[in-house]
């Protein structure tokens, strides 16, 4: 007899959390669909070479590998769906009109968990806009990300914006750096390490450490530093995007945040909400590569729904009615048509309370069960 143990980082979702997870996925997908994003469903497992070739940043180290007994080739489970959307956009939908709007939702599997996220299997849902990373495209995608998150019932939402390639941009002209120092300076800024910057001889970058916080104040601080026309253009774009966002959303700005945005280009963002530790979503602009080595701009976002489920989102009160033996099937069908969940007795000993019912059918009428009895 087995003991029911599962591998580390994997778990069973039981009622009501399984239903809540499905509901949240549907809410996000419906929101995305309503904005013109067509859903695609890439497979959970692909050839490792193809998948790894499209993954960037830390995702490459997250590959859960195995050997295909049919082809004898190495396979890998996806740790992220975004790369698969890029593959679809540059192969099967290469000839589709741009901008191409695609949505998705499904499980991802990571090789290792983290202290903040002990799960290795997670549910990811989101959308990608292929063919543009303009200010208009960024505005659309960020608003869609916020709408999708709010649709799950999340409250007190925070949007944190960043400029992932800021150091590379500044190093070219405004704040010159030797190419060999760019990665080190970027890492020190990401770690908010003032001493490390000074040790690298990059004192000119120290003022950037203070330019993090609420968006208006952060932008004001940045504009006291001569960062050049290219960066000013981006700051103006950030202001334009922020102006279109619901005032109820708290907007923060950390221009040097880099961790997790290794493959993003001019814009990155993270999403947070009350009751959940850590981010619940992220996105930004990036490029995808076609078979002919042509690069195409894109921008998108992903939401991670497991922490939302764990926080109690997606759970709703369900009216479960117990149907005694010999209940008329037409009566039962009518109850289901009006939103009831019916639980039919299979034996005279079946108990409505034990089966989690909120009501019992008596004389073809729903009779509410006492709350105390249901809990018992």
Query: What's phi and psi for 295, nearest 5 deg?
Result: -95, 140
Q: Is the pLDDT of residue 325 over 60?
A: yes
Answer whether 218's CB lies under 8 Å from 253's CB.
yes
What would the two tokens of residue 140 be? 């659309």
Same domain, 90 and 52: yes
- What's the confidence (pLDDT) of residue 57? 60
| Domain end among 228, 248, 268 | 248
Lowest-pLDDT range of 63-67, 114-118, 341-345: 114-118
Torsion of CA 252, 257, 258, 260, to 10 degrees: -50
Same domain, 240 and 262: no
Same domain, 209 and 356: no
Same domain, 18 and 117: yes
The 8-class DSSP code of residue 347 comes to S
* Cα–Cα dist 157/139, whole Å: 17
pLDDT tens sequence across 314-324: 998 889 999 99
| Domain end among 248, 280, 302 | 248
Q: Greatest CA separation found in the chain?
A: 85
Answer whether 86's CB lies under 8 Å from 94's CB.
no
- What's the confidence (pLDDT) of residue 59? 61
Residue 21 covered by a domain: yes
Answer whether 60's CB lies under 8 Å from 79's CB.
no
Same domain, 176 and 191: yes
pLDDT tens sequence across 140-160: 999 999 999 999 999 999 999
- What's the confidence (pLDDT) of residue 376? 45
Same domain, 156 and 120: yes
Same domain, 136 and 50: yes
Same domain, 149 and 270: yes
Same domain, 154 and 171: no
- What's the confidence (pLDDT) of residue 374? 52
Residue 4 covered by a domain: no
Answer whether 211's CB lies under 8 Å from 222's CB.
yes
Same domain, 261 and 117: yes
b/e per residue 272-303 (b: at least 16 CB within 10 A): bbeebeebbbbbbbbebeeeeeeebbbbbbbb
Q: Which helix (H) or strand (E) holds 104?
A: strand 100-109
Q: Is the pLDDT of residue 375 over 60?
A: no
- What's the confidence (pLDDT) of residue 373? 55
Beta bridge partners of 304: 124
CATH number, position 267? 3.30.930.10
Residue 197 covered by a domain: yes
Question: Of 103, 122, 102, nearest to 112 (Cα)?
Answer: 122
- For residue 360, the Cα-to-chain-centroid distance in whole angstroms is 41
Lowest-pLDDT range of 22-36, 44-58, 353-367: 44-58
Q: How far is CA 124 from CA 32, 170, 181, in A?
A: 13, 34, 36
The total of structural domains in the chain comes to 3
Percent of the chain with pLDDT over 70: 97
| Domain end among 248, 267, 300 | 248
Answer whether 206's CB lies under 8 Å from 192's CB.
no
Same domain, 150 and 17: yes
b/e per residue 158-197 (b: at least 16 CB within 10 A): ebbbbbbbbbebbbeebbebeeeebebbbebbbeeeeeeb
Same domain, 307 and 330: no
Residue 1 covered by a domain: no
Domain containing 153 equals 11-164+257-316
Residue 281 covered by a domain: yes
The 8-class DSSP code of residue 179 comes to G
């Amino acid at each position: 007899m087995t003991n029911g143990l599962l591998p580390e980082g994997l778990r069973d979702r039981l009622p009501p959390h399984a239903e809540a997870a499905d509901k949240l996925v549907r809410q996000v997908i419906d929101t995305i669909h309503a904005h013109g994003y067509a859903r695609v469903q890439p497979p959970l497992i692909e050839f490792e070479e193809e998948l790894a070739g499209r993954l960037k940043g830390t995702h490459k180290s997250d590959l859960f590998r195995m050997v295909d007994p049919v082809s004898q080739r190495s396979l890998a489970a996806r740790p992220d769906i975004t790369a698969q959307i890029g593959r679809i956009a540059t192969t099967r939908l290469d000839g589709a009109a741009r901008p191409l709007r695609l949505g998705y939702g499904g499980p991802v599997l990571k090789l290792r968990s983290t202290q903040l996220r002990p799960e290795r299997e997670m549910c990811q849902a989101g959308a990608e806009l292929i063919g543009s990373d303009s200010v208009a495209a960024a505005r659309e995608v960020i608003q869609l990300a916020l709408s999708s998150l709010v649709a799950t019932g999340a409250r007190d939402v925070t949007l944190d914006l960043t400029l992932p390639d800021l150091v590379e941009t500044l190093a070219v002209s405004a704040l010159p750096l030797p190419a060999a120092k760019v990665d080190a300076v970027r890492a020190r800024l990401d770690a908010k390490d003032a001493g490390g910057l000074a040790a690298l001889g990059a004192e000119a970058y120290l003022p950037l450490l203070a330019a993090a916080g609420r968006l208006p104040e952060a932008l004001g601080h940045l504009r006291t530093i001569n960062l050049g026309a290219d960066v000013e253009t981006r700051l103006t774009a950030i202001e334009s995007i922020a102006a279109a966002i619901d005032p109820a959303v708290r907007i923060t700005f950390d221009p040097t945040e880099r961790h997790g945005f290794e493959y993003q280009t001019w814009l990155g963002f993270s999403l947070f909400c009350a009751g959940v530790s850590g981010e619940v979503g992220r996105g930004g602009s990036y490029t995808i590569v076609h078979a002919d080595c042509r690069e195409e701009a894109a921008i998108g976002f992903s939401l991670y729904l497991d922490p939302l489920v764990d926080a109690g989102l997606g759970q709703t009160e369900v009216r479960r009615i117990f149907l005694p033996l010999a209940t008329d099937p037409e009566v039962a069908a009518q109850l289901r048509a009006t939103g009831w969940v019916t639980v039919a007795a299979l034996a005279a000993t079946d108990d409505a309370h034990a089966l989690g019912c909120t009501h019992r059918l008596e004389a073809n009428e729903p009779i509410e069960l006492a709350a105390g009895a249901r809990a018992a």
